Amino acid sequence: PVVSEHKFEVRGVRREFSVLRQRLDDGSGGPPVLVAVWRDLAPQRRREARRAAAIEQLEQEQRANEQLRREMHDRVLRDSETGLYNHAHFADQLRREVDLSTREHREFALVAIELDPLAPDVAALGAAARSRVYETLGRLLLGNTRAMDASCRWDDTRFALLLSGVGL
């Protein structure tokens, strides 16, 4: 048997067919007969297109879910007001840095920052002003440290920086 595919355009519509050709001998010594079976491939192509579209949609949803998962993970690790790491994540980073320092004799620096109480005129502006001060400090720390460093909000008025590979 011989199988081939043929594509036709009939009245502006593209059609695809699979053709099976088989030579048949009836055994009586008469002339052989050629049998051709044409099968319309349109239903199969539509199923394949729907399957491909469904797979693409699933992959897009997986990418979106992965992005959301990363964002949620990042939100858990960071302080919402300053964008800095929270105390728990900073403690993990500090343990990692101490381990590296012990194993590889690498230096690191730990910088602690505590803000003085707000001036009376700033405190009079309320929580929005205090929030703005913390947000600005967070941007300052994030913008002036390397990616390998860790900046953290320890509590309301205390902050910390872990500078990897930096000595005195």
| Residue 99 in tokens | 């381990």
The pLDDT, as a whole number, for residue 86 is: 85
Q: Which residues of the chain have pLDDT under 50?
A: none
Residue pLDDT, tens place only, 87-112: 888 888 889 889 988 898 888 888 99
SS (H, E, C) 110-142: EEEEECCCCCHHHHCCCHHHHHHHHHHHHHHHH
Closest residue by Cα to residue 82 from 13, 1, 18, 159: 159
Is 0.95 surpassed by the pTM of this model?
A: no
For 17-38, the DSSP string reads EEEEEEEE--SSS---EEEEEE
The pLDDT, as a whole number, for residue 58 is: 96
Sheet containing strand 108-114, strands side by side: 108-114, 158-164, 150-153
The pLDDT, as a whole number, for residue 32 is: 86
CB 136 within 8 Å of CB 82: no
CA distance 151 to 165: 15
Residues 6 or more apart whose Cβ sits within 8 Å of residue 159: 82, 84, 112, 113, 114, 115, 137, 141, 151, 152, 153
- The two beta strands, 33-40 and 150-153, are unpaired
Look at the alpha carbons of 147, 148, 154, 159 in this order and tell me if their dihedral is positive or negative: negative
The pLDDT, as a whole number, for residue 75 is: 76
